Amino acid sequence: MKGWNGRFLRVDLTKGKTAVQDYSEDLARRFVGGRGFAVKLLWDELKLGTDPLSPDNMLIYAVGPVTGFVIPNSGKIVVASKSPLTGGYGDGNLGTQASPNLRKSGLDAVVVTGKAKKPSYLLIEDDKHEIRDAGHLWGLDSYKAEARLKEEHGRASGALLIGPAGENLSRIATVVSQEGRAGGRPGMGAVMGSKNLKAVVIHGTKELPAHDPEKLRRLGQEGYQQILKKDNYKWWKRQGTMATVEWCQEAGTLPTYNFREGVFDRAPEIDGNTMEKQVTVQRGCPNCNMTCGNVIMDTEGRESELDYENVTMLGSNIGVGDLKQVGTLNRMCDELGLDTIGAGSCLGFAMEAAEKGLVDLDIGWGDFEGSQRLLLDMAYMRGMGATFGLGTRKAAEKIGRGAGDFAIHVKGLECSAYECHLCPGMALSFGTSPIGAHHKDAWVISWEISTGRREFYDENKADKVIEFQRIRGGMFECLVACRFPWIELGFELDHYPDYFEAATGVKMSLDDFWALGDRVYALIRAFWVREHGGRWGREMDHPPKRWFDEPLTQGALKGKHLFRDKYDGLLQAYYDRRGWDDRGIPTKATMERLNLSREALELEKFVKLS
Ligand code: PTT
Ligand code: SF4
């Protein structure tokens, strides 16, 4: 097999053992890489009902067959596990030097099980695989720990780490790298912490095996050139994802005061234009010429790398309207290893709970100092932070007295930063995302607002959600490359089957990639259903209650809200198109069509398939 290395590293932290495993060509062809490998491994090997924070849980770092080659934006990695935040399938995707290094060490994935007796880190240097003592790193924030590891193992190495949040099992802990890259929103950092695994450090020097290296090199160079010539390139380099603040404010979809409103009166103070005046440097992922990490100095004079999600969830969503203050909260999240989206949502939820007198907590809207205190407490799981650090769903269950009505999540994962009182298509995207409410699989909101907002519940929105899920959640997450060249600059999708073929020698059309996406989606859904013992219903795919029951009170969209019955109709259209039944479970015929017959037999042990 060219393109793929064909090898996984298995790490059993309980036994202190590592082993290299060849994987089958069938796995490579049916699941390609990244998320595809992750869900198949979890489906095949994870014991049913495993506690996500127990040694039995599997933690998977997986790249894909185009990752690491010098082609556009190929420096990403998928981190996946059974999620301690949602109880279902969880993953995230981050850009990091660890990603090309993993490929160059001759591996396509690392699968970690067990729990180390003491704080440890995993060192991969080509064929050397060691579990090492991390006593000197435990307790350090992610910046300090990474700096120590780079001193010890060289600047060319890449590191995936956790901060104190992961160590203390905060359910909103993420995996971080390179002082400002983060991935694994559904608590992947807590899974690392539960295994006493502080970091994975990787340095690979091998040649990556390509089917046609010369062609791949040429295609890569042409791709970089084409990206530079795209109309939007200069604008993108100026603001990156931060331009979305201006756009969302204008469209009335900027999460504000815990998603109660869609406009924020201080939005201009935290938007991309303000950021442009403060930016000091831009950073990015490996193999990328679109570097979108805009760095500003925070209130303490420290660097903070901003993105749209970070700024709105730690800004408008909690009423903070000062970019430097937002920068400080963002920097704290990166150091502590807290997901900014989860953290911003939990802060907003806490502020509202305090306002309603449901908790005895000294925090109010826009409270910068109070937010800093609560971030620390959520990371260290102490005081009230021990409740909010469980995520909004579990925190609401603990608080009771109707707190669930304003917990903004789907399946336990906090919504990313798109206010959907008048965006049923985007609400459907959150509702059906395979990991809970994340925009990454189907960011249809821009299309929805520009084309169809007036035809609120048109079924073409279900088509669009599926189209995006196939491209983003299927192709990009399995090839493991950044989707921004395509979605932000219009870099054509046809490039990717070409890269894939030059890397592997295997021809796959775009339609084949869409079938791959459908297969991965069906298996992820099967995983959720199996973990729920077959007790599954369509209400699992509903967006937060607030969007139905509490109309907006401000801005041009005042009075607007989603309609439950119409949303449900859209959801049904989605199920019909996917070949899933009324409960949202893939039918037997669908599983068979997607080359998942064996998996269907397993699923039938838990639920009768239609
Ligand atoms: C992603 C989620 C996002 S999505 C953002 S900003 W975004 C937040 N970033 C965080 C952060 O920073 N620090 C932190 N402590 N927590 C954070 N949580 C939030 O996590 C990211 C870019 C972005 S910026 C996006 S959309 C794209 N995401 C991609 C994806 O998912 N797949 C893919 N193939 N390509 C993508 N390209 C873009 O990458 P999660 P990164 Mg992130 C600091 O992982 O769990 O999916 O959550 O990876 O390297 O930081 O790049 O407006
Ligand atoms: Fe990373 Fe941004 Fe480049 Fe994507 S566009 S690879 S997120 S720097």
Q: Which residues of 504-533 are buried (b: 16+ CB within 10 A; e: fewer)?
A: bebebeeeebbbbbbbbbbbbbbbbbbbee
Q: What are phi and psi of 435, to 5 degrees?
A: -120, 10
Quick one: average pLDDT of 130-151?
Answer: 98
**How far, in Å, from the CA of 585 to the mean position of ligand 1?**
29
Looking at residue 454, what is its pLDDT?
A: 66
Residues 74-108: tens digit of each pLDDT: 999 999 999 999 999 999 999 999 999 999 999 99
Around ligand 1, the residues with Cβ closer than 6 Å are 76, 92-95, 174, 180-185, 241, 285, 305, 307-310, 333-334, 338-341, 440, 476-477, 482-484
Q: Which of 482, 486, 488, 491 to mutate to test the pocket of ligand 1 (most atoms within 8 A of CB)?
A: 482
pLDDT for residue 1: 81
List all residues 6 or more positions away from 11 whose beta carbon is below 8 Å from its beta carbon.
17, 18, 110, 111, 112, 113, 114, 122, 129, 131
Mean pLDDT of 477-490: 98
- % of the chain beyond a pLDDT of 90: 99
User: For atom 2 of ligand 1, which residue has the closest CA?
Assistant: 183
Q: What is the mean pLDDT of residues 361-384?
A: 98
Question: How far does the centroid of ligand 2 lie from the alpha carbon of residue 175, in Å?
Answer: 17
Which of the four pLDDT bands, split at 50, 70 and 90, describes residue 456? Answer: confident
- 435 Cα to the center of ligand 1, angstroms: 14
Residue 451 has pLDDT above 90, yes or no: no
**Residue 264 Cα, ligand 2 centroid: separation in angstroms?**
28
Token representation of residue 110: 């690392």
Task: Indicate the burial class of 7 (C-beta count within 10 angstroms; 0-12, 13-18, 19 or more).
Answer: middle
Q: Is the pLDDT of residue 177 over 90?
A: yes
Residue 298 has pLDDT above 70, yes or no: yes
Atom of ligand 1 nearest to the CA of 93: 44
pLDDT at 241: 97
b/e 9-35 (16+ beta carbons within 10 angstroms → b): bbbbbeeeebeeeebeeebbebbbbbb
Concatenated DSSP letters for 583-610? TS-B-HHHHHHTT-HHHHHHHTTTS---
Which of 205, 204, 217 minimizes the C-alpha distance to 66?
217
pLDDT at 453 over 90: no
Q: Spell out where 420-490 has E strands.
A: none
Distance 134 CA to ligand 1 centre (A): 27
Does the pLDDT at position 364 exceed 80?
Answer: yes
Give the ligand at the shortest distance from the Cα of 94: 1
With 70 as the cut, is the pLDDT of residue 111 above it?
Answer: yes
Cβ-count burial of 101 within 10 angstroms (0-12 exposed, 13-18 middle, 19+ buried)?
buried
Question: What per-residue confidence (pLDDT) applies to 533?
Answer: 92
The Å distance, Cα 593 to ligand 1 centre, comes to 33
Nearest ligand to the CA of 71 is 2
Q: 482 alpha carbon to ligand 2 midpoint, in Å?
A: 6
pLDDT at 180: 87
Judged by its nearest atom, the ligand closest to the C-alpha of residue 63 is 1
Tell me, in angstroms, the distance from the centre of ligand 1 to residue 364's CA. Answer: 28
Contact (CB, 8 A) for 31 and 131? no
| Residue appearing with tokens 């935290």 | 270
Confidence (pLDDT) at 143: 98
Distance from the alpha carbon of residue 440 to the mean position of ligand 1, in angstroms: 8
* Rounded mean pLDDT, 457-478: 97
Kindly identify the ligand whose nearest atom is closest to the C-alpha of 282.
Answer: 2
Q: How confident is the model at residue 185, as a pLDDT?
A: 98
For the CA of 183, the nearest atom of ligand 1: 44
CA distance 466 to 432: 9
**Cα 205 to averaged position of ligand 1 atoms, centre (Å):** 27
Q: What is the pLDDT of residues 344-358, one digit of tens each?
A: 999 999 999 999 999
* Pocket lined around ligand 2, Cβ cut-off 6 Å: 73, 95, 284-285, 288, 290-293, 482, 484
Select from 177, 285, 479, 487 the residue to mutate for testing ligand 2; criterion: most ligand atoms less than 8 Å from CB: 285
Ligand 2 atom with minimal separation from the 76 CA: 6
Q: Round the average pLDDT of the chain to a whole number and report it.
A: 97
Query: Distance (Å, rounded) from C-alpha 394 to C-alpha 388?
Result: 8
Q: What number is the average pLDDT over the span 181-191?
A: 98
CA of 434 to the centre of ligand 1 (A): 16
Residue whose CA lies nearest to ligand 2 atom number 4: 482
Checking if the pLDDT of 460 tops 80, the result is: yes
Give which of 57, 82, 67 is closest to 3, Cα–Cα. 67
Atom of ligand 2 minimally distant from the CA of 75: 6
pTM of the predicted model over 0.95:
yes
Which atom belonging to ligand 2 lies closest to the Cα atom of 488?
A: 5
- pLDDT 10s digits, 221-268: 999 999 999 999 999 999 999 999 999 999 999 999 999 999 999 999
Average pLDDT over every residue of 22-49: 98
